[in-house]
Amino acid sequence: MFEAKLAAAGEAVEGRLRMLLAPDRPGGIEAGRLGDAMRYAALGGGKRLRPFLVVESAALFGVPQSAALNAAAAVECVHCYSLVHDDLPAMDDDDVRRGRATVHRAFDEATAILAGDGLLTLAFEILGRPETHPDAAVRLQLVGELARAAGWEGMAGGQQLDLEASNTAQDTASIARIQALKTGALIGFAARAGAVLARAGAQERRALACYADRLGLAFQIADDILDAVGDPAIVGKATGKDAAAGKATFVSLLGLAEARERLKGLEAEAIAALDPFGARASALQEAARFVAQRRS
């Protein structure tokens, strides 16, 4: 049931991204190799968890999937840009992502930098379009919230801190803070986006923000566990990198058993945060289970 919903949202956002990134779309110019690299980065892969959160948080308030797809596509563009830049030799220096060559490996480094830049910029172009929401104020709110989630006080700031953290001793509080920026901020935006699209009230936004906060941290702990014990053939990227780099993770600081315990607690808190929505929130609640129990 949940996997089917996740796959359906993934297919819908894939279709929207294909349209937005089409080489022969009306009025578009031929973007050549850059367009190829952007499509390579954004199409045909990934769990599409963030678009799913947008679509399902919108569904909580009766917003149909079709009306949430631009916002979902925008958040996925930002996610994909961050993967392309994080994989660069100057950053995490990864050769494989989603089971295939990273963008700078499949193309070249300059093209990868520009493809990331292009996807980030496209996200804001998409949010600005009338199809994203009929009300200009809603579109602007999405622009402002996505910019804050993605920028120096959000995801980009978290990636910087994460790179610096490799060289200094860390405790779980500082790792949690870094991850709240690096992965939590964008997941939080995705989970709140439906409430923005529906012009929902502050209380409902807070419930979704609380859910997203626990979900983002659970996602990161699950990632650390996968890096420690996952099979690279299933995970789709190299594992054991953190230990090899001597990098502090939730697993190295807490041990595997305690990290799994923490993960279980966060899963329960994420689910409880959505109780006010009743049965309508079951898909989002299943997403928390999925994130905590994922194998890839």
Nearer to its own copies, 154 or 194 (CB): 154
199 binds its own copies (CB under 8 A): no
Among 2, 101, 105, 157, binds its own copies (CB under 8 A): 157
- Closest approach, Cβ 183 to its own copies, in A, equals 15
Nearer to its own copies, 195 or 271 (CB): 195
The whole-angstrom separation of Cα 21 and Cα 3 is 26
The whole-angstrom separation of Cα 120 and Cα 162 is 20
Neighbours of 194 (CB within 10 A): 28
- Closest approach, Cβ 27 to its own copies, in A, equals 9
Nearer to its own copies, 31 or 209 (CB): 31
- Closest approach, Cβ 118 to its own copies, in A, equals 4
The whole-angstrom separation of Cα 295 and Cα 234 is 7
Among 153, 231, 258, 275, binds its own copies (CB under 8 A): 153
Among 43, 143, 165, 253, binds its own copies (CB under 8 A): 143
CA atoms within 13 A on the CB side of 44: 10
Q: What is the DSSP letter of 62?
A: T
User: 9-28: which residues touch its own copies (CB under 8 A)?
Assistant: 28
Q: Decide: 250 and 262 in contact? Cβ < 8 Å.
A: yes
Neighbours of 89 (CB within 10 A): 13
User: Rg of the Cα trace of the chain?
Assistant: 18
165 binds its own copies (CB under 8 A): no
The whole-angstrom separation of Cα 161 and Cα 177 is 9
For helices 49-59 and 2-20, give the axis angle rounded to 10 degrees: 110
- Closest approach, Cβ 185 to its own copies, in A, equals 11
> Taking CB under 8 A as the rule, which mask of x and - marks residues 93-132 in contact with its own copies?
---------------xxxx-xx-xxx-xxx-xx-xxx---
151 binds its own copies (CB under 8 A): yes
Among 1, 137, 202, 279, binds its own copies (CB under 8 A): 137
Q: What is the DSSP letter of 180?
A: I
Among 60, 75, 156, 198, binds its own copies (CB under 8 A): 156
- Closest approach, Cβ 284 to its own copies, in A, equals 27
237 binds its own copies (CB under 8 A): no
Tokens of 195: 């409430």
Q: Which residues pair with 97 in a beta bridge?
A: 100
Among 42, 150, 281, 287, binds its own copies (CB under 8 A): 150
Residue type, 144: G
The whole-angstrom separation of Cα 81 and Cα 119 is 6
Among 147, 253, 256, 272, binds its own copies (CB under 8 A): 147
The whole-angstrom separation of Cα 279 and Cα 259 is 29
- Closest approach, Cβ 117 to its own copies, in A, equals 5
88 binds its own copies (CB under 8 A): yes
